[in-house]
Amino acid sequence: MLAPVQTPALQTNASPLWARVQNLGLRTVAVMGMTKNTGKTVSLNHLLAQAQSAHVAVGLTSIGRDGEERDQVFSIPKPPVMVTPGCLVATARDTLLRAKVRTRLLGGTGIESPMGEIVLVKALDAGEMEVAGASRSHDQHRVIALLRQCGAEIVFLDGALGRSHHASPAIADGVVLATGAAIGGGVQDVLRKTRDRLAILGIAAAEAALAAQVQPAFDCAGVGVWDRAGAPVFLEPIATLNAAPVLLGLGATDVGTVAVSGAVARRLWQALVELLQRHPGLTLVVGDGTKLFIDAIDLATFERQGGHVRAMRAIRMAGITLNPFSPFGGSFDAHEFLAQAQLALPDYTVSDVQLTAA
């Protein structure tokens, strides 16, 4: 039986990022990085500490592995995940052998991983923990539900390199994006690349009527096509990997809207571009911005040519965090980087959590 944890909520001395998270009323927040070494773990630790100060009961899990002593890609030292007393953690059983805090086992999940079953524990001390959670979306839903059952008022999802599906609104209702000097280039290069990523993640939600029209494609986990009058032309539960030839084979059929429930990668995108040339004003609807595996210039060109891209669920960006340091050289002045980022990204809560803590 999973033991519930009760903690009263109290707001105290909130940082701009934490204040934004609370003001939005977020219950599940994904923390993702633009690339390795952009400060994702530091941002996560900041949120954990802020929640502790505000007496908010926290749940924590990861879609990959985080908190290990050395980066698994570049083999350089990395900051550990710092849990706080009372933090509820869903992690693989083997990681508990390396935890530098005492924990109390709350229960299992029945979800297996290469590092053992994902179990739920309560941290009894403040300190370092390695976290390795469930990697599949449906397993993440179960883990989040169990953490809430144990008393978590907010759940933080820690991401992994090359994975962004945990940032989907189907899983998280808010996202924190970590960016920084490790991306490479100068300050303006980093900010341009960050804006490009935000352009993809931030595609607007489909209007209610359009969302209702295309819902069947998402219900069957497939692809749907409608003419300009809204009448269905094609609706099948096919994998998006097989969708390009199907769309191109529609011939002279009038096409107004295409809905794709899965990922849109390069081959499918090229087919959609060709379809737009045949059918000006084409609207594409995807699940959310995490499903688009294209560049920002592709999206901008598509829209400049008269196409429209909408999401069934828009991603809510809780904040952008900055890391001016790069382990590969080319670090920035922290204050200048923050000032330039706030000017370049005026619609977002932009912060350097290290400066906030100073």
Query: What CATH number is associated with residue 280?
Result: 3.50.50
Model-level pTM?
A: 0.90
pLDDT at 74 over 60: no
What DSSP string describes 319-354?
A: EEEEE---TTS----HHHHHHHHHHH-TTS-EE-HH
Residue 162 carries which DSSP code?
T
Q: In the predicted model, what is the mean pLDDT of residues 288-311?
A: 97
Domain boundary among 311, 327, 348: 311
Asked if pLDDT for residue 240 goes beyond 70, the answer is yes
Q: What is the mean pLDDT of residues 308-321?
A: 97
Average pLDDT over residues 185-199: 97
For residue 242, the SS3 value is: helix
Q: Which tokens go with 188?
A: 């303006």
Q: Do 137 and 66 lie in a common domain?
A: yes
User: How many domains, in total, are found in the chain?
Assistant: 2
Q: Residues 151, 51: one domain?
A: yes
In whole angstroms, give the CA distance from residue 130 to residue 62.
Answer: 10
Answer whether residue 147 is part of any domain: yes
Q: Is 289 buried (19+), middle (13-18) or exposed (0-12) by CB count in 10 A?
A: buried
Residues 173 and 240 in one domain: no
d(C-alpha 20, C-alpha 45), whole Å: 16
- Do 292 and 326 belong to one domain? no
For residues 133-153, average pLDDT: 94
Whether residue 332 sits in one domain with residue 281: no
Residue 132: name the closest of 62, 60, 202 by CA.
62
Structure tokens that stand for 35 in this block: 């690339």
Which contacts of 148-151 are long-range, i.e. CB under 8 A and separated by 24 or more positions? 148/27, 148/59, 149/2, 149/4, 150/2, 150/3, 150/4, 150/5, 150/59, 150/88, 150/106, 150/120, 150/122, 151/4, 151/5, 151/6, 151/7, 151/57, 151/88
CA distance 224 to 108: 39
7, part of any domain: no
Residues 214 and 286 reside in one and the same domain: yes
Residue 10 counted as domain residue: no
Is the same domain home to 325 and 306?
no
Residues 306, 247 within the same domain: yes
CATH code of the domain containing 79: 3.40.50
Report yes or no on 1 lying in a domain.
Answer: no
Residue with the larger pLDDT of the pair 171 and 188: 188
Q: 50-64, 165-179, 192-206, 228-242: which range is least confident on average?
A: 165-179
Range(s) of the domain holding residue 270 = 208-311
Range 142-162 average pLDDT: 90
Q: Are 165 and 288 in contact, with CB atoms under 8 Å apart?
A: no
Residue position matching structure tokens 């959609």? 272
Question: Could you tell me if 216 and 197 lie in one domain?
Answer: no
20 & 145 share domain: yes
Q: What is the mean pLDDT of residues 105-119?
A: 95
d(CA 349, CA 332): 20
Alpha-carbon span 347 to 320, nearest angstrom: 10
Dist. CA 33–CA 277, nearest whole Å: 35
Q: 266 and 180 share a domain?
A: no
Last residue within a domain, chosen from 311, 330, 345: 311
Residues 145 and 222 in one domain: no
Query: For residue 101, which of 129, 81, 75, 73 has the smallest C-alpha distance?
Result: 129
Q: Is residue 5 part of a domain?
A: no
Give a yes or no: residue 6 inside a domain: no
